Amino acid sequence: QKGTGRARVGSIRSPLWRHGGTVHGPQPHSHAYSFPRKKLLGALRSALAAKLADGKLIVVNAFSVAEPKTQAFREALDRLKVDKTALLVEVANHGNRNLDLSSRNLEGVELISSNEVHPFHLLRYDRAIFSQPAIEKLQLSLKNSASRRNHDAAEGEGKAQKKAARAPRTRGKKAAEVA
């Protein structure tokens, strides 16, 4: 490079040059966040309690669909007074194919298994319809995951009341004489 009268330059792709490279350019990052499990289960309990309090939680013995007919299934939902959206929850291993075929073409109706229930589902749909085995499985799962403190408080078997706070100390003789 000697003798040209120009500066020493390494690469023409240097970031200092026009049309050069980018310094510390964007890197692909995953911004995924795993929500804390205890908070998620607490939200699920809360959403179920809200649905129950509003009278929008329905439990049926079983989803027995003889043939995959959407119209017949719509009539069954109308008998349950489901006029808007509905979430159907069935036990995963039952695999009721006719139920799946009957419900999938209805707008505002979603069929999920009991291990996929999320607070978002319960808040999104107007009514929640559980089969008896599905609600029992969900209750067992939520009961087993409850913290010991919450479990004791729910059953009213809390520990004995804490002792009252200790009485404040009285002043010593010298402090009493000065005051």
pLDDT at 154: 64
CATH no. for residue 121? 3.40.1370.10
Q: How many residues does the chain have?
A: 179
Residue 15 lies in a domain: no
Residue 20 lies in a domain: no
Residue 62 sits in which domain range?
Answer: 56-146
Residue 68 lies in a domain: yes
Residue 29 lies in a domain: no
Residue 30 lies in a domain: no
Record the pTM: 0.66
Residue 44 lies in a domain: no
User: For helices 37-54 and 132-145, what crossing angle results, to 10°?
Assistant: 140
pLDDT averages per 10-residue partition of the chain, 179 residues:
76 90 93 92 93 92 85 89 89 78 89 90 93 91 77 61 71 65
Long-range contacts of 54-57 (CB under 8 A, 24+ apart): 56/126, 56/127, 56/128, 57/127, 57/128, 57/130
Residue 10 lies in a domain: no
Tokens of 154: 């729910």
Number of compact structural domains in the chain:
1
pLDDT at 3: 78
Residue 28 lies in a domain: no
